[in-house]
Amino acid sequence: MQTKFQALTELCEKLEGTSKRTLMVDLVANFLKKLRVDEVEPATSMMLGRAFPKWNQRTLEVSWATLSGVIKRLTNIEWKSFSEAFSKTGDIGSTAKVVFETTKIQKQATLLEKPLTILEVRRSLEAIAEATGSGSRERKERLLKTLLGTATPLEVKYIVKVLVGEMRTGFHEGLMELAVSKAFDVPHNAVQTASMLTGDIGEVAKTAKVQGKEGVLKIRFRFFRPVKPMLAQTAQNVNEALREHGGETAFEYKLDGARIQIHKSGDIIRFFSRRLTDVTKSLPEVVQLVRNEVVARKAVLEGEVIAVGEDGNPLPFQHLMRRFRRVHDIEVMVKQIPVELYLFDLIYLNGQSLTTTPYVERREKLRERAGSIPLTKQIITNSPKEAEKFLKKAMNRGHEGLVAKKLDSLYTPGVRGKRWFKIKMSLEPLDLVIVAAEYGYGRRHGWLSDYHLAAQEPDTGRFLMVGKTFKGLTDKEIIWMTKQLRDLAVREERGVVVVVPQIVVEVAYNEIQESPKYECGMALRFARITRIRNDKSPREADTIQRIKEIYEKQFRAKDRYLPF
């Protein structure tokens, strides 16, 4: 017998209502035990706010304008009422629930009135994703109307949350790994490793239910299923990196480009972005380069693609993102925005995982297999003076800074630790999410050009404001941003347009200071947008905790309060 979707939504309500992590893990573990095998992955994905597994390249392609239009037609609600409900809840899913509870819904006619199941919701999401080409928007709207029209208000709440990718229950992937471990009696470290290798905890959960510990331990790399990239912490300077790495480390240029994971199996080459999205079609000349130069039958490599100008110097990140967003007329874009590939890691080679191989050995193997493809420029040193000189050289050449890599560091997919540090000469910029925008003045009249910046609170999933800025974007970018934000608009009041938190921007600032103005108690001083991060999702943006850490670090070198 199939599990009702209502059971999943009731579980999510319990998760939303508690901050006790142990209780959360217990609730989810008990739920997973009761599911059918074919329900485990869909339920796991949806609990984490995803329609499909991470490795799955299908996308819903449902804009907020489309979804809000369906809600309007189903409920016959005045949008002002929806906006008022949103101002009280601050959550799109909760607002949809309130609206569906308080209005007369145009129920879809069915031969047999029966409750939705987890698998039926997944099939509906698949049908929405598969609606492409001419007339796809109308087909998506019909499918959404049927799905929401047959759901209870509570089910609507969580269907909408999945559709916009914003769950906000406080139950994140790390807790899901604990729940899977507990539900199926598999060691936690085995679940973590398998999740890293598959790039998706839902698939691991299904394997654990069917095959237990033995099945999870057998999980290996799967070609053309990207793994989560290893991440770096931020170091204040080269001295901190040297100290943490035992006095000697490898420094590499941190390029101002897009990180890609390269899967090569024979002549088949595919590239994946840091969001695990397939971007192969955007980079045809790089595909040919890898096919011709990489000396390996099967390999998984990591590299950075940068856009370059006529003088050979790096172009701003936004130029590169134009390549990644383009799906038509690729040949034209190849000529307009040439790119270069630099390799920096090798994590799988001819049947052997290299994730447990020390970094210096991986680098040497990469050098042997890279052909004429350059590796990121590197020095290995124990001298702070030499490292500082190398950092300045990187910055002068238009790069972002350095990455310091511990010589014996293993490759840990998806983990941010002290084995790798990123170092810049200025304060580390923050990746923040735009939650609202205001219309500008003068020549910016009519354009949304003053942006409200927020970071996510990990325990609740809420986005809390940390500042505002109208600086940094070009006129062309402001026009693009206005169109995107209008499509994401939930309500407008006194010139402020509140939006679904979807767009991530990189923000520079001079300082983080205390502020009673914002709920988080902090504010960015002299914030300015340095680039639009189309390569990052809101879940990958910086958190309130990260901002607190930077705030505290400021006072290692100066007094917390000024004398008056």
Quote the pLDDT of residue 562. Answer: 39
Residue 454 CA to residue 246 CA, distance in Å, equals: 36
Q: What is the mean pLDDT of residues 43-69?
A: 91
> Is the pLDDT reported for residue 309 higher than 90?
no
Task: Identify the pLDDT of residue 446.
Answer: 81
Using CA atoms, how far apart are residues 22 and 25, in angstroms rounded to an integer? Answer: 5
Identify the CATH number of the domain in which residue 135 sits: 1.10.3260.10
SS3 for 94-153 is HHHHHHHHHCCCCCCCCCCCCCCEHHHHHHHHHHHHHCCCCCHHHHHHHHHHHHHHCCCH
Domain harbouring 533, CATH code: 2.40.50.140
The answer on 101 and 59 residing in a single domain is yes
Element (H, E) at 391: helix 384-396
CB atoms within 10 A of CB 9: 23
Residue carrying the six token digits 């947008």 = 529
Identify whether 254 is a catalytic site residue.
Answer: yes
Residue 96 lies in a domain: yes
Q: What SS3 class is residue 448?
A: strand
Res. 563: pLDDT tops 60: no
- The one catalytic residue in 54, 97, 228, 254 is 254
- The pLDDT score that the predictor gives to residue 112 is 44
pLDDT in tens, 510-553: 888 888 889 999 999 889 999 999 888 898 899 999 999 888 87
536 within domain boundaries: yes
Q: In terms of domains, do 382 and 449 share one?
A: no
Q: What angle do CA 127, 131, 137 make, to 5 degrees?
A: 120
Task: State the pLDDT at residue 327.
Answer: 65
Residue 323: pLDDT band (50, 70, 90) is confident
Q: Considering the entire predicted model, what is its pTM?
A: 0.81
Overall average pLDDT of the 269-288 stretch:
92
Average the pLDDT over each of 229-238, 278-287, 297-306, 435-444 and give the range with the smallest value.
Answer: 435-444
Q: What are the angstrom distances between the C-alpha of 267 and each of 223, 247, 259, 276, 295?
A: 13, 42, 22, 21, 11
In contact, 333 and 320? CB cutoff 8 Å: no
The answer to whether residue 105 scores a pLDDT higher than 70 is no
How far, in Å, are 396, 501, 511 from residue 521 at the CA level?
36, 20, 14
Do 366 and 448 lie in one domain? The reply is: no
* Average confidence score pLDDT of the chain: 90
So what's the pLDDT on residue 166? 84
pLDDT of residue 539: 86
- 268 and 378 in one domain? yes
| Residue 225 in this model has a pLDDT that exceeds 50 | yes
Q: How far apart, in whole angstroms, are the C-alpha atoms of residue 59 and residue 128? A: 9
Residues 493/445, Cβ–Cβ less than 8 Å: no
Q: Which of 150-154, 481-485, 492-496, 538-542 has the lowest mean pLDDT?
A: 492-496
- Please state the rounded mean pLDDT for residues 318-347: 83
The pLDDT of residue 104 is 67
Q: Do 330 and 257 belong together in one domain? A: yes
Measured between alpha carbons, how far is 461 from 455 in angstroms, rounded to an integer?
A: 10
For residue 196, being part of any structural domain is answered with no
Helices (H) and strands (E) in the chain, counts: 20, 19
Q: Please indicate, yes or no, if residue 521 is contained in any of the structural domains.
A: yes
Q: Report the distance separating Cα 255 and Cα 397, nearest Å.
A: 10
Backbone angles phi and psi of 410, in degrees to 5: -85, 165
Domain count, the chain: 3
Query: Domain containing 403 — which CATH number?
Result: 3.30.470.30
- Domain identity same for 349 and 247: yes
φ/ψ of residue 241, rounded to 5: -65, -45
The pLDDT of residue 459 is 80
Q: Is residue 214 part of a domain?
A: no
Question: What pLDDT shows up at residue 197?
Answer: 83
Residues 410 and 457 in one domain: no
Amino acid 111: pLDDT = 40
Q: Concatenated DSSP letters for 210-254?
A: HHHHHHHHT----TTSPPPPPEEEE-SSHHHHHHHTTT-EEEEEE
Q: How far apart are CA 511 and CA 314, in angstroms?
A: 28
Same domain, 461 and 515: yes
Tens of pLDDT, residue by residue over 378-424, are 999 999 999 999 999 998 888 889 999 999 999 988 888 899 999 98
pLDDT at 557: 45
Of the residues 105, 129, 164, the one at which a domain ends: 164
User: Is residue 350 domain-resident?
Assistant: yes
Which domain, by its residues, includes 522? 430-556
Residue 253: strand pairing partners:
402
Q: Are residues 251 and 375 in the same domain?
A: yes
Picking from 402, 423, 444, the residue at the C-terminal end of a domain is: 423
Return the bridge partners of 431, or none. Answer: 506
Are 298 and 371 part of one and the same domain?
yes
In this prediction, residues 485-498 reach a mean pLDDT of 88
Q: How confident is the model at residue 24, as a pLDDT?
A: 97
Q: Are residues 266 and 324 in the same domain?
A: yes
Residue 558: what pLDDT?
Answer: 44
Of 423, 456, 481, the domain-final residue: 423
Q: How confident is the model at residue 285 (pLDDT cuts 50, 70, 90)?
A: very high
State the pLDDT at residue 81: 81
pLDDT at 555: 57
Give the side-chain half-sphere CA count within 13 A for 505.
28
* Per-residue pLDDT, 430: 94
- 327 and 415 co-located in one domain: yes
What's the whole-number mean pLDDT along residues 97-113? 68
Residue 185 is assigned to a structural domain of this protein: no
